[in-house]
Structure 1
Amino acid sequence: MITLVLIAITVLVSWQAWQRPRLLDRLMLWPPAIDRQRQYDRLVTHGFVHADWQHLLFNMITLFFFGRFAEQLVTQMIGPVGFVLFYLSAIVIAILPSYLRHRHDARYRSLGASGAVSAVLFAFILFNPWGLIFVFFLPVPAILYGVFYVGYSFWMDRQGTDNVNHSAHLSGAIYGVLFMLLMEPRIAGHFLSALMNPSF
């Protein structure tokens, strides 16, 4: 499965980057390197490196549970290569607002697959709004989790008090929804119908 391949590559690259700090520095998003050295690949490679095991595991566990569902949907619409392009483009689209905001900030750095994982998660929520997402072992309807996720990410992004790129979470979530609707507009009707008929 493509999702498992993406997870394996991300784990391998992250692990190698932890062993080789210079590699980590080269792969993470650092705006001056893009502007001055034209290292545009950083817009993608930052999604394959993580700060630590906790950061990596959270993203990869989420990708494992929801990526397989999104992969199946996207593959049915545009083929397996389409899912790869969806994931890679989500990495880029999710980071663009942060990159543009910090384009001239040499102190800014970002890394992690959170933006793409958010896109995958919200593709699932769009198709199955009443599916259950387990938060600290407690089942929460996907649509409620999505509303809380967006609200919390927006609020924390405005606060700017931690080292989490909440902007990428928001951008990834929006992109995941828009991508699915663009590929199959009828999903909007399916979402509204499912939303009006709760089923756990």
Structure 2
Amino acid sequence: MGNLSAVTIIIIAANIIISYKGFSDYSFFDKYKFQVGAVQRGEQIRLFSSGFLHADNAHLFFNMFTLYFFADVVITLLSTMQFLIIYLGSLLLGSLLSLYFHKNEYHYSAVGASGAVMGVIYSAILLQPGMSLYMFFIPIPIPAYIFGIGYLLYSIYGMKNRIGNIGHDAHFGGAIGGYLITLILSPWLFKTNLLMIGLLAIPILILFVLRRMGKM
């Protein structure tokens, strides 16, 4: 992990350039951020453009730093084109899940590459479930699949209780995107990692059961 391919450099550069444009030009930021009312009026470009804007330097750095560590796993085990499909598909799925959960909140808005990055993380977990992750506040390695399941369960909790100024639904939608698109692109995983596929599906099923029961 941690090698920089050309496509990763391009994505990180695009995020930096567009985010910094948004930092200094509020009208640009306002025009391209995700906003429910604007998307419903037909400005679908916001579903994608919002994924290249960030709220501040810390938000931008954390997303790009995380992408730097996980992108190469997906590129190496799949391909550059498939990585791009996963990145952009997860970005879109994150925005669409936000739209679904906030469709009656006309002024709800969000920015950030978190959905796309979460998709890359979950793709990497599926492709290399034995890898371990190191968290800033935990000095021991955590199995990737434990992190994956735990993070999705936390995202459900965050969505339900509206914890912090965080787009938990975009994170969750991105993770679903990375999960589904990777399985479509790599059906051989059903033979090699069936147990992991099932485990990572559990929080996704919980979310939709809760939604169907009207508790989300």
Match of 2:202 in 1: none
In the other structure, the counterpart of 1:55 is: 59
**Selected match of 2:158 from 142, 156, 166:** 156
2:205 maps to none
The correspondence of residues 104-183 of structure 1 with structure 2, limited to 5 A, is: 104-136=104-136, 138=139, 139-183=141-185
- For structure 1, the residue ranges without an aligned partner over 5 or more in a row are 196-200
Which stretch shifts more, 165-174 or 132-141?
132-141
Cα distance between partner residues in 1 of 2:58 and 2:48: 21
Match of 1:66 among 70, 81, 98: 70
Of 99-108 and 146-155, the range deviating more from structure 2: 99-108
**1:17-68 deviation per Cα after TM superposition (whole angstroms, max 9, x unaligned):** 10111111111101111222x2110000000001111111111111011012
Tell me whether 53-62 or 180-189 shows the greater mean CA deviation. Answer: 180-189
CA distance in 2, matches of 1:93, 1:31: 15
With normalisation by structure 1, the TM-score equals 0.88
Percent of residue pairs bearing the same amino acid type: 32
The alignment status of 1:97 with 2:102, answered yes or no, reads: no
Q: What do you get for the CA RMSD once the two structures are aligned?
A: 1.8
CA contact (8 A) 2:35 2:108 kept: yes
Cα separation, 2, equivalents of 1:180 and 1:172: 12
Q: Distance in 2 between matches of 1:194 and 1:173?
A: 14
SS in 2 for 1:140: strand
Deviation at 1:93, TM superposition (A): 1.0
Q: Matches of 1:180 and 1:113 in 2, distance apart?
A: 18
Distance 1:81 1:194 in 2: 24
Partner of 2:203: none
User: Distance in 2 between the 1:131 and 1:192 partners?
Assistant: 17
- Across the two proteins, how many residue pairs are aligned to each other? 190
* C-alpha contact 1:3 1:71 (8 A) present in aligned 2: no
Q: Following TM superposition, by how much is the alpha carbon of 1:83 offset from its aligned partner in structure 2, in angstroms?
A: 2.7
CA drift of 1:192 comes to: 4.1
In the TM superposition, residue 194 of structure 1 has moved relative to its aligned partner by 8.2
Mapped partners of 2:57, 2:67: distance in 1? 15
The residue identity in structure 1 corresponding to 2:48 is V
Structure 2 distance, partners of 1:187, 1:30, is 36
Out of 45-54 and 104-113, give the one that drifted further: 104-113
